[in-house]
């Protein structure tokens, strides 16, 4: 059990129901199952679909839907097959430095299975100011991911990690990747 005030990455429907009954003002629940405004919160300059937006775009989008950095955001999916978009939204909030974010365990399906009430009311929150700062450790480059694939392929083939150089950089989370220091 977490200490009081700790933001858990996964929260139960019982916990959320209790928070909503207490009318916790700094709690916001967001449906991630279908985002009609996803074009507003992506990198429109990328040739690839749905790439993470620049920090200022994410901040503007969050502010426009009434979020600020004091709020605990609980994300859920309405998907009978389980989670779909909520984990990506969770990652984006974390990548932009907002740690007050959780995923509703089981999403709307579990909420309904527990007989908890729903509403079709559309909540319009006033525009707020949201600050977003990219945490680079949440992003990996193409070169970094290629290095990871090469590293694991070499490991499968029986090469010892110190014998191979798969990436000339400082990214070492995936194992012991030798770093060239010849500058």
Q: Are residues 23 and 99 in the same domain?
A: yes
**Do residues 125 and 144 share a domain?**
no
Mean pLDDT of the chain: 82
The alpha carbon of 138 is separated from its chain's Cα centroid by a whole number of angstroms, namely 9
Asked whether the predicted pLDDT for residue 15 surpasses 80, the reply is yes
Identify the domain containing residue 171 by its residue range. Answer: 140-183
Residue 23 shares a structural domain with residue 88: yes
- The pLDDT value given to residue 73: 96
Query: 116-167, pLDDT tens digit by residue?
Result: 999 888 888 999 999 999 998 888 777 878 877 777 777 676 665 555 554 4
Helix (H) or strand (E) holding 92: helix 86-95
Q: Quick one: how far is CA 136 from the chain centroid?
A: 14
Q: Specify whether 24 is located in the same domain as 72.
A: yes
The two tokens of residue 43 are: 């990198």
Banded pLDDT at 171 (limits 50, 70, 90) = very low
Q: Are residues 134 and 148 in the same domain?
A: no
Any residues with CB less than 8 A from the CB of 87 and at least 6 apart, and which? 103
**Residue 175: band (very low, low, confident or very high) from pLDDT cuts 50, 70, 90:** very low
Task: Give the CATH number, domain containing residue 58.
Answer: 3.40.250.10
- Locate 122 and state its tokens: 């559309």
The answer on 99 and 167 residing in a single domain is: no
> Among 33-37, 40-44, 69-73, which range has the highest average pLDDT?
69-73
One domain, residues 95 and 183 = no
Q: Shortest CA distance to 166 belongs to which of 156, 176, 79?
A: 176
DSSP-derived letter for residue 60 is: H
Tokens of 78: 């309405």
Give the tokens for residue 69: 């950095």
Q: How far, in Å, CA of 68 to CA of 51, rounded?
A: 22
Q: Which residue has the tokens 């908890």?
A: 116
DSSP classification of residue 74: E
Window from 94-98, 164-168, 173-177 with minimum mean pLDDT: 173-177
Tokens 């429109």 sit on residue: 44
Residue bearing tokens 């740690």: 99
Among residues 150, 154, 147, which one has the least CA distance to residue 170? Answer: 147
Confidence class for position 41, pLDDT limits 50, 70, 90: confident
The answer on 88 and 78 residing in a single domain is yes
- The reply to whether 129 and 177 lie within a common domain is no
67-79 pLDDT, tens per residue? 999 999 999 988 7
């Amino acid at each position: 059990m977490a200490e009081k005030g700790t933001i858990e990455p996964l929260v139960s429907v019982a916990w959320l129901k209790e928070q909503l009954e207490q009318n916790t003002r700094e709690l916001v629940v967001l449906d991630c199952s279908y985002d009609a405004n996803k074009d507003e919160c992506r990198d429109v300059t990328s040739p690839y679909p749905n790439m993470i937006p620049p920090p200022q775009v994410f901040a503007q989008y969050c502010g426009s839907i009434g979020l600020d950095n004091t709020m605990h955001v609980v994300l859920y999916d309405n998907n009978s097959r389980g989670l779909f978009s909520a984990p990506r939204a969770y990652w984006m909030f974390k990548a932009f430095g907002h740690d007050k974010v959780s995923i509703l365990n089981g999403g709307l399906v579990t909420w309904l299975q527990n007989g908890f009430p729903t509403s079709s009311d559309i909540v319009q929150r006033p525009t707020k100011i949201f600050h977003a700062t990219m945490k680079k450790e949440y992003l990996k480059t193409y070169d970094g991911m290629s290095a990871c694939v090469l590293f694991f392929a070499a490991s499968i083939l029986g090469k010892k990690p110190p014998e191979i150089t798969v990436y000339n950089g400082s990214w070492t989370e995936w194992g012991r990747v030798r770093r060239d220091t010849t500058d």
